[in-house]
A and B are shown apart, each in its own frame.
Chain A
Amino acid sequence: MPDADSRPALVSGREISVRHGDRAILDDVDIAVHRDEIVTLIGPNGSGKTTLIRVLLGLRKPTAGRLQREDGIVIGYVPQHLQIDRTLPLTVRQFLLLGRRAPTERLRQALLEVGVPNLLTAPFHLLSGGEVRRVMLARALLRDPDLLVLDEPMANVDVAGQAELYALIQTIRRRRRCGVLLVSHDLHLVMAATDRVLCLNGHVCCSGRPDDVSQHPEYLALFGSKVGGSLAVYTHHHGHDQDVSDAPVAVEPAADRDRDASHG
């Protein structure tokens, strides 16, 4: 998909393909993220969102394609899963310090910025799903990133918390003028918070402004046929997981599963 933005991208991939054995996970994908813009990847399960993120982060080599990254940029990464063994006694402070050594005052600031100023000394295992996300975001912010990469930032966060998190991501973008790349499976919640959407299903189905994408026939075909509930929920603006039991095919893990479910 040609990129309307003519500025040099923070990170970009052209004609990215990833094969696993005989299976094509990504086929000829173009993507670019610029400074001061929020790009959202959406797509059903197994559509290659996480693989594409991993390629852009340099965690996985693409089978084909070119990857470019602006020299010297710092990337803040918030992975989808974080399973800290229960036997590891880690406080929020130590978790933050693993990303970058910083004086306590800076740690406090980072926690304040993500809206959880009182968690500095809390044991990591006692955090709720939403708090874990925010603390992980704080760790990424401590690195003063030029680019924030958030993989399914809403996993294990209840619906109200999701809206707050999206608002927070927007605030961070505005304040820091960094690029944001985030993965989501729910267009309706990202709509307001994103500049561009890339709808992925192995290849790029469509991309552009969120309201354009939501009208695109390929988008409708993808989400309309595979997840009957998702589209209906999108129009009705309800929680997106209510029809999960009827549509096991392409539904991501329910976001507002037990708040404590992620505390492995």
Chain B
Amino acid sequence: MDSFILRALVAGAGIAACMGPLGAFIVWRRMAYFGDSLAHSALLGVALGFLLGINVSLGIVATCVTLAVALVVLRQQRGLADDTLLGILSHSSLSLGLVVIAFMETLRVDLVSYLFGDILAVGMVDIYIIFACGTAAIGLLAVLWRPLLSITVHEDLARVEGVPVLRTQIAFMLLIAIVIALAMKVVGILLVTSLLIIPAATARQFARTPLQMGILASLIGCLAVGLGLQGSLVWDLPSGPAIVVAAAVLFCVSLATRPGRIWLR
């Protein structure tokens, strides 16, 4: 196997592994659109990274966190519904990113690779970063697991039982921001949320406990990365979309094998 394929596989599997349990929480907490909005704002982070001459990943994390904070603040005003706010933030930050990038004439940015990912261009340094940050992210999630699950089940009840709700929620947002910054390389801004949600939704068909669902989502994500890369190699498909299509196919297969489990009363 070519070494760039191997690197892509390792990087993709690493990312899919830490996206699994995180994606489960996104599904449980109905935050799919929130994840999408954070991902969209990541392009602005890329633009700012270039503009200010700082690390691009750092730029992404910074804009994601800013967006999350903006959302929390705007939510306090109670003027608009959450999905409207998310829609405004999501699309304006994506557009702002595109505008800023267009402004920087001297810079030639491969926009497509940011929007749809470029996993085949992953280098060894990227892999080190992915595994270092990924391990940290999983470690943080392990600490957050119980309080976060408790908040997901019932926020007030968790608070009465002494869970530090705000701190946990902020840490969770930070976690999503970091993982999105990592995952951009693989599937790109427009498809990042799919790697969070589709494996988790697939895992729901088989899981009997929250932890099972998280771990299963990781495995299914890794499988999707493998199948997608294979498809991309054999049929010369764009790798990011191929991975997402593979995940979608796995989801459909899971529906066929365990029909109606999600809708079970």
Report chain B residues within 8 Å CB of A125: 264-265
Report chain B residues within 8 Å CB of A57: 156, 160
- Chain B interface helix/strand/loop/mixed: helix
Q: Tell me if B28 and A85 are in contact (CB < 8 A).
A: yes
Q: Is A113 an interface residue (CB 8 A)?
A: no
- Residues in A170-189 with C-beta less than 8 Å from chain B: none
Q: How far is the CB of B83 from chain A (nearest CB, A)?
A: 17
Inter-chain CA distance A122–B9, complex, in Å, is 39
Inter-chain CA distance A54–B155, complex, in Å, is 13
Tell me which of A79, A87, A91 contacts B157 (CB under 8 A): A79
Q: Tell me if A85 and B30 are in contact (CB < 8 A).
A: yes
- Chain A interface helix/strand/loop/mixed: loop
Tell me which of A86, A95, A260 contacts B262 (CB under 8 A): A86
Q: Tell me if A79 and B154 are in contact (CB < 8 A).
A: yes
Q: Tell me if A90 and B160 are in contact (CB < 8 A).
A: no
Q: Is A75 an interface residue (CB 8 A)?
A: yes
- Residue of B146, B200, B209, B263 most packed against chain A (CB within 10 A): B209
- Residues in B145-174 with C-beta less than 8 Å from chain A: 146, 149-150, 152-154, 156-161
Q: Is B185 an interface residue (CB 8 A)?
A: no
Tier of interface size on chain A: 20 to 34
Report chain B residues within 8 Å CB of A82: 153-154, 157
Q: Tell me if A54 and B212 are in contact (CB < 8 A).
A: no
Inter-chain CA distance A242–B159, complex, in Å, is 37
Report chain B residues within 8 Å CB of A59: 156, 159-160
Q: Is A112 an interface residue (CB 8 A)?
A: no
Known: A59-B159, A85-B30. A90 touches B153 (CB 8 A): yes
Q: Tell me if A88 and B152 are in contact (CB < 8 A).
A: yes
Tell me which of B27, B28, B157, B200 contacts A77 (CB under 8 A): B157
Q: Tell me if B204 and A89 are in contact (CB < 8 A).
A: yes
Report chain A residues within 8 Å CB of B264: 125
Q: Tell me if A89 and B209 are in contact (CB < 8 A).
A: yes
Chain B 239-263 against A: per-residue CB contact (8 Å), 1 yes, 0 no? 0000000000000000000000011
Q: Is A126 an interface residue (CB 8 A)?
A: yes
Q: Tell me if B153 and A88 are in contact (CB < 8 A).
A: yes
Report chain B residues within 8 Å CB of A85: 27-30, 152
Chain A 60-97 against B: per-residue CB contact (8 Å), 1 yes, 0 no? 00000000000000010101001011111111001100
Chain B interface residues toward A at CB < 8 A = 27-30, 146, 149-150, 152-154, 156-161, 200-201, 204, 207-210, 212-213, 262-265
Chain A interface residues toward B at CB < 8 A = 54, 57-59, 75, 77, 79, 82, 84-91, 94-95, 98-100, 123, 125-126, 143, 149, 260, 263
